[in-house]
Structure 1
Amino acid sequence: MDYIHLKDMEFYGYHGVLAAETELGQRFRITMHIAVDLQYAGETDELDNTVSYAEVFSIVKDIVEGKPYKLIEAVAEKLASAVRNAYPAVIKGIQVEVIKPDPPIPGHYREVSVEITRGEFI
């Protein structure tokens, strides 16, 4: 299995359960690993035979900066579905991590995150 990685894409959104999250918003980092067969794309050198990083970034941006969700689990699910649906013939599986680096909860930690895997992923 081959992979395309988009690491630490950063956006500003309004997802969360707490009032501060939905009123003030916060940064979100998204890391995505996309399982694909890249051999044909490598042999043909044609974008149509792979996944466009620019299009994936745009899809992720629209979701993270768009409609607010209470749970980052829902954000992760929307991201995985939207990217897979954009390339149904190419993407074999996807792993999505949604990271809140600064959630408004007391305590000491680097970040909180969820990670989901959909489809084939080795």
Structure 2
Amino acid sequence: MSERDAALAALPYAAYLGLRMDDSGALWLPFRADLVGNYHIGALHGGVVAAALECAALVWLRRETAAAPRTIDFTIDYLRPAVSRDLHLTVTPIRVGRAVATVRVEAWQTDPERPVAAGHGNFGLNGG
């Protein structure tokens, strides 16, 4: 099993959502109709967006630190509706220490400069 596959397999909810990662480490959530929460505008459910953000942070931390991260806290800002298309996720580490990592994740669809949501979280690392 590749490092990429192992990082995704460690999070069953990421697999349930259908979270994907390419060889470069880019993460995205392919659109599926069963993930829609607002059928009037065809927007993804807010819980799906939140879960994708948190899972992206956990997958990134698992790949970069070889730790089994655990969520301490995670805050989400919904910026605009996530319409019926793929959701791309960009992970930015703020600080990765020995015991705690702070990470920001942005979700975007057509333009990375126009995120639909952003998450900011603190995660405990092994031994922390």
Q: Please indicate the TM-score interval, normalised by the length of the shorter structure.
A: 0.3 to 0.5
TM-score when scaled to structure 2?
A: 0.34
- Which has more helix, going by share of residues? 1
Higher relative contact order (CA 8 A, sep 6+): 1
